[in-house]
Amino acid sequence: MSDELRFPPEQEEKIAGFLQKVKFRKRIFGGVSEKDVWTRIRELNDMYRQALLAERIRCDALIAEHDREKAGD
């Protein structure tokens, strides 16, 4: 078993798709809009939160199943 954290494939695809498509509003002078960058970072953070929550639910279910099996021994 790997120590690497893996999200469910649908979550990984959603995050990867977001990163591939993300665009930032350009400013007339000085690159991109800082406000827009922070908005995109918040969106990405929300996606990671959802993925972590899904993983937590999966892990909790596995732990509960293990505990039930151990209690049945």
The pLDDT tens digits for 57-69 are 989 999 999 999 9
The confidence score (pLDDT) of residue 8 equals: 78
**10-39 pLDDT tens trace:** 888 888 999 899 888 888 888 888 889 999
Residue 40 is assigned to a structural domain of this protein: yes
| CA distance to 3, 22, 29, 49, per residue, from 14 (Å) | 22, 12, 32, 13
Residue 1 is assigned to a structural domain of this protein: no
Give backbone dihedrals phi and psi of 26, rounded to 5 degrees, phi first: -85, 145
Residue 22 is assigned to a structural domain of this protein: yes
Residue 27 is assigned to a structural domain of this protein: yes
The confidence score (pLDDT) of residue 11 equals: 85
Confidence of residue 55 (pLDDT cuts 50, 70, 90): confident
Do 33 and 26 meet the contact criterion of CB atoms below 8 Å apart?
yes
Residue 35 is assigned to a structural domain of this protein: yes
- Full-model pTM: 0.66
Alpha-carbon Rg for the chain, nearest whole angstrom, is 19
- Tell me the residue range of the domain where 66 lies: 9-72
Residue 57 is assigned to a structural domain of this protein: yes
In a 3-state reduction of DSSP, which class is residue 37? helix
Domain count, the chain: 1
Residue 41 has pLDDT above 80, yes or no: yes
